[in-house]
Structure 1
């Protein structure tokens, strides 16, 4: 008995996940086993379901649990941006390879949990579910784990492009300079006299405005790198601010 053969349409945004051979031949034919779900078929093409929006079969919306039949035509839609994440405040969990992105999100006041160690995919997925955090990763295997609460693939390996992608995709509320870039804790205004014993002489003489992390006690001020960080903040605000009406 021959196995079912379906045709699949994949938008340009998702073709990055396809094998080199499938991209080269532009093949849209897929042979299934007749029992696997549509979600499994999509993942077998290399596309994480976290990146998939609306699925249609022969023009009708279909669920990932649908089992494709011979001759059906499947359209795979990409996520519509900005993506809505219902059910919890928007916050993120980043894997060990995205440390710079985590620090930049925290700089913008976005809740971004991150550990500078590889705790393994099962532990990351479990934490995503327990804390209701969107898992950000470039690891497609991690994003396929069923216990994830929510996830998103980070398409670029360049931090500035990664940040722009996340901001455009999720449109988080920004509150720059309110979160510790080291541990993700909230910052509060610190009186200079209260932190003076932790400052070097040059810092004491040159700066008067300080902030302190309520979680790890780290002290912040507008030091030598402030202009570089301000440029990151300014670019992010431009990314998330809609253009004025014509």
Structure 2
């Protein structure tokens, strides 16, 4: 594997890690305490290019900090008893307010419906963090700086355009398949399940109120590839179920 191929592989691993979580620690440069970093908790949802989008109030301290200096970092990590023993990713870049509040709202609220009241408030706005540097720690001895072009997925305009239709179809006609995904691929027996997003690397389900991330064996770029991948996963689950009944 060439150094470029290795960089792309590590970048994809870091990106898939970030896709699995929707809460992070946001660090801005304090306006009130000049020169000091200021950390806060921030939910986020990734856009099609892998950039985190956050919903924040213009009254919040971190928003005032961003408006004064857009340089930020976002630490993404799972809650664990031993936080240093698990993977984590730090994304650094510049945050900028999105001009259209409704442009990203539908996708954001699919992932974080509890933010509906904030979304409706007049003083909350979306800010996108344009990723410039990535620090990926995948575990002991697995530590990398990742280049942004290796972290970002390729353009997937066709998939992005088809996403709403794919979700509607899966949620209307294939909830049994999604329950099988939960059971056989995530070891989770779920009753109430829906697909909330699909992207280059995989898709997200809400299963009995909990978000689950499932990665595709191979990336997809359009709706036909998505269909093929989802059908193959359903077949895999049926085969697993047949083996269990033998």
For the criterion TM > 0.5, the same-fold answer is no
- Provide the TM-score with structure 1 as the length reference: 0.25
Over alpha carbons, which structure has the higher Rg?
1
TM-score, structure 2 as length reference: 0.25
The structure richer in helix per residue is 2
